Chains A and B, each alone.
Chain A
Amino acid sequence: MTAVVDVRDVTRTFGPVTALDHVSFAVEPGELVGLLGPNGAGKTTLLSLVSGLRRPDSGTVRLFGGDPRDSASRVSLGTTPQETGLPETLRVGEVVDLVSRHFPDPMPAAELLERFGLTAQTRRQTGALSGGQKRRLAVALALVGRPQLVLLDEPTTGLDVEARHELWTALRTFHTEGATVVVTSHYLEEIEALAERVVVVGQGRILADDLLSRVLATVARRKVLVGLPDRAAAQALTAALPSVSEPAREGDRFAFLAADADELVRQLVRLDVAFSDLEVRGASLEEAFISLTKESR
């Protein structure tokens, strides 16, 4: 079966910035893929190539086996406007109507708005909607054409917890109905809630591509902060534990990123170092990405 998305050895630069660096990435029908990475990692650029907005400098991009720059290749594609970019003066019903007229078999506007809880807002101008309503309408616009592939770029940015969960439920429902979904996020929580397969993007490259559980294990790091007599002591610790990152100075203490913080603490005791002020906490996603980036070099 043809892959829904097939990106091969793609490079794209913006002036001096390399947004994507020889990236290959494929999505099969029915998958629910999360693209995870910090801001500026290249997620949005990757989606813009798949949706035909931009051209790669080198490499090939295929959407349903065709060139995404050809409008015919995009008949089964659904995307959302970024941020909350809707035409402010148009009414909700009008925006849905405008988009639906591009598709051969669109969902009736009433059904779509009902599904996203926007029926009461049909006659309102989009500029008068709340942030949450705008976001819901943006996601609804991705589904108007009954797409086989939906690309969602940071779909819940700026939403409160409740609205975020509602949107996730709507997306999961849509996926169980048979659609392929690719969602980007820089929130681990969002990817955990939605994705089955996770692709970690950082500095324009794919750092990990695996099942959610395996990626979580890789990304889940603990940060250990501890006061040590000198750098030699810190290096002795990392020498004994290859999975621990190189020590970094943080205030008076040394910081380590470790997959297994308990083992690090045991090693500290075993080495009989005079340590002080020990603190163990979850590493942020950014910190985990940095360690992944270093490992993949």
Chain B
Amino acid sequence: MTTTAPTSTRTQIAEGTLRRAVRLSLVHFRFQFVELTRTPIAVIGNLAFPAIALLFFVVPQQVVSQDPVLATAATAQLSAFAIASTCMFSFGVGVAEDRAKPFAPFQRTLPVGAVPPLAGRVLNGIVWSYIALVPLALVGGFLTQATLTPGRIVPGLLAVIGIATPFTLLGLAIGYAMSAKAAIAVVQLTLFPLAFAGGMFMPPEIFPRWLDAISTLTPTRGARELFVSATTGAPLESVFVVVLVAWTAIFAALTTIAYRRDEGRNYR
């Protein structure tokens, strides 16, 4: 007979469930962030597109770029797109790639539930969204008449959280449900039509009525209206807030289901 079973004499600090979840979420956020900064090109590649779109499609149109209201709205709607795109590509496709690595199943054996790793990703989505807005703010601020009054800064920063959260969750739901290759295609097929329908490329004021009706129900439209309103002070209709919150709840549920169902690489 060998040694007897260990009887833990160590005092274990009883940590509250919520406190532990918050602490571990920050731990996951921090290490995911460090990993991303060590290979920043993965994220930075996604940052360039919206700024380039602004540069080529908005800056040359004098009617828009020289009008402070129109230019601010145009910059804001592309900013909302930049946030959605960063979150869906970096964290949707990114998680599908991470999942294929052998460290992912190891992490799943640690005593941690679904919330901290997912919350850590959402926090990263928010932080990287702020970074994604820097090139847009520069192009919009210097090359167009877009303005951001000091009073609109805080609402703008808060709106980023409201947009980054649902789109990171949508990306995660896709990333946990399928392989990296499939996830890239699905993210593209989801993001671009949604971005168009949500008025992120063309203002919804010019949409025909039927398209506007569909548009109102999309999460991208809610994101666009939230960001345009936050940065310009234009009134925000409550329907868009309700739709965006509803999508956030749906995406959170889908992500949790996909995470729980995920068993790593699938063998067939």
- Chain A residues packing against B (C-beta within 8 Å): 1, 14-15, 17, 29-32, 48, 51-55, 71-75, 77, 79-87, 89-90, 94, 98-99, 101-105, 125, 141, 145, 148, 175-180, 196
Query: Using a CB-CB cutoff of 8 Å, which residues 198-245 of chain B contact chain A?
Result: none
The closest CB in chain B to the CB of A144 belongs to B110
Q: How far is B35's CA from A38's CA once the two chains are assembled, in angstroms?
A: 36
Q: How far is B34's CA from A84's CA once the two chains are assembled, in angstroms?
A: 20
Q: State whether the Cβ of B53 lies closer than 8 Å to any Cβ in chain A.
A: no
Q: State whether the Cβ of B19 lies closer than 8 Å to any Cβ in chain A.
A: no
- Shortest C-beta distance, B113 to chain A (Å), equals 4
Whether the pair A80, B105 counts as a contact (CB closer than 8 A) is no
- Which residues from chain B contact A101 at a C-beta distance below 8 Å? 23-24, 27
Q: How far is B12's CA from A125's CA once the two chains are assembled, in angstroms?
A: 32
Q: In the complex, which of the residues A48, A98, A105, A175 has the most CB atoms of chain B within 10 Å of its own CB atom?
A: A98
With contact pairs A30-B3, A30-B4, A102-B111 given, residues A82 and B106 touching in the complex (Cβ less than 8 Å): yes
- Shortest C-beta distance, B36 to chain A (Å), equals 9
- Which residues from chain B contact A104 at a C-beta distance below 8 Å? 12-13, 15
Q: Top 9 closest A-B pairs, CB basis? A: A85-B102, A29-B5, A89-B38, A178-B6, A81-B106, A51-B109, A74-B111, A14-B267, A79-B109
Q: State whether the Cβ of B181 lies closer than 8 Å to any Cβ in chain A.
A: no
- Shortest C-beta distance, A196 to chain B (Å), equals 7
Whether the pair A105, B113 counts as a contact (CB closer than 8 A) is no
- Shortest C-beta distance, A185 to chain B (Å), equals 18
- Shortest C-beta distance, A79 to chain B (Å), equals 4
- Which residues from chain B contact A177 at a C-beta distance below 8 Å? 3, 6
Whether the pair B268, A102 counts as a contact (CB closer than 8 A) is no
With contact pairs A14-B268, A29-B4, A105-B10 given, residues A141 and B106 touching in the complex (Cβ less than 8 Å): yes
- Shortest C-beta distance, B193 to chain A (Å), equals 33
- Shortest C-beta distance, A175 to chain B (Å), equals 7
Q: In the complex, which of the residues A74, A84, A104 has the most CB atoms of chain B within 10 Å of its own CB atom?
A: A104
Whether the pair A94, B267 counts as a contact (CB closer than 8 A) is no
Q: List 5 A-B contacts (CB under 8 A).
A: A53-B263, A71-B113, A81-B106, A85-B101, A102-B110
Interface mask (B94-124 → A, CB under 8 Å = 1, otherwise 0):
0000000111011011111100000000000
Whether the pair B264, A99 counts as a contact (CB closer than 8 A) is no
Whether the pair A178, B3 counts as a contact (CB closer than 8 A) is yes
Whether the pair B31, A86 counts as a contact (CB closer than 8 A) is no
Q: How far is B31's CA from A83's CA once the two chains are assembled, in angstroms?
A: 21
User: Looking at chain B's contact residues, is the secondary structure mostly helix, strand, loop, or mixed?
Assistant: loop
> Which among A83, A103, A179, A180 is the interface contact of B111 at CB below 8 angstroms?
A103
Q: In the complex, which of the residues B102, B263, B266 has the most CB atoms of chain A within 10 Å of its own CB atom?
A: B102
- Chain B residues packing against A (C-beta within 8 Å): 2-6, 8, 10, 12-13, 15, 23-24, 27, 31, 34-35, 38-39, 101-103, 105-106, 108-113, 263-264, 266-268
- Which residues from chain A contact B15 at a C-beta distance below 8 Å? 104
- Which residues from chain A contact B31 at a C-beta distance below 8 Å? 90, 94, 98
Q: In the complex, which of the residues B6, B13, B27, B264 has the most CB atoms of chain A within 10 Å of its own CB atom?
A: B6
Whether the pair B4, A178 counts as a contact (CB closer than 8 A) is yes
- Which residues from chain A contact B38 at a C-beta distance below 8 Å? 89-90, 125
- Which residues from chain A contact B27 at a C-beta distance below 8 Å? 98, 101-102
- Shortest C-beta distance, A267 to chain B (Å), equals 42
Q: How far is B113's CA from A71's CA once the two chains are assembled, in angstroms?
A: 5
- Which residues from chain A contact B2 at a C-beta distance below 8 Å? 30-32, 175-176, 196
Q: In the complex, which of the residues B2, B10, B38, B109 has the most CB atoms of chain A within 10 Å of its own CB atom?
A: B109
- Shortest C-beta distance, A179 to chain B (Å), equals 7
- Shortest C-beta distance, B41 to chain A (Å), equals 12
- Which residues from chain B contact A75 at a C-beta distance below 8 Å? 111
> Which among B12, B105, B109 is the interface contact of A105 at CB below 8 angstroms?
B12
- Shortest C-beta distance, A205 to chain B (Å), equals 19
- Which residues from chain A contact B3 at a C-beta distance below 8 Å? 30, 175-178
- Which residues from chain A contact B108 at a C-beta distance below 8 Å? 52-53
> Which among B4, B8, B109 is the interface contact of A77 at CB below 8 angstroms?
B109
- Which residues from chain A contact B102 at a C-beta distance below 8 Å? 81-85
With contact pairs A53-B263, A53-B264, A74-B110 given, residues A90 and B34 touching in the complex (Cβ less than 8 Å): yes
- Shortest C-beta distance, A77 to chain B (Å), equals 7
The closest CB in chain A to the CB of B115 belongs to A71
Whether the pair B24, A52 counts as a contact (CB closer than 8 A) is no
Whether the pair A15, B34 counts as a contact (CB closer than 8 A) is no
Whether the pair A148, B12 counts as a contact (CB closer than 8 A) is no
- Which residues from chain B contact A82 at a C-beta distance below 8 Å? 102, 105-106
> Which among A1, A89, A175 is the interface contact of B35 at CB below 8 angstroms?
A89
> Which among B24, B39, B106, B263 is the interface contact of A80 at CB below 8 angstroms?
B106
- Which residues from chain B contact A180 at a C-beta distance below 8 Å? 5
- Shortest C-beta distance, A288 to chain B (Å), equals 26
Q: How far is B109's CA from A79's CA once the two chains are assembled, in angstroms?
A: 7
Q: How far is B8's CA from A84's CA once the two chains are assembled, in angstroms?
A: 31
Q: How far is B38's CA from A102's CA once the two chains are assembled, in angstroms?
A: 23
The closest CB in chain A to the CB of B5 belongs to A29
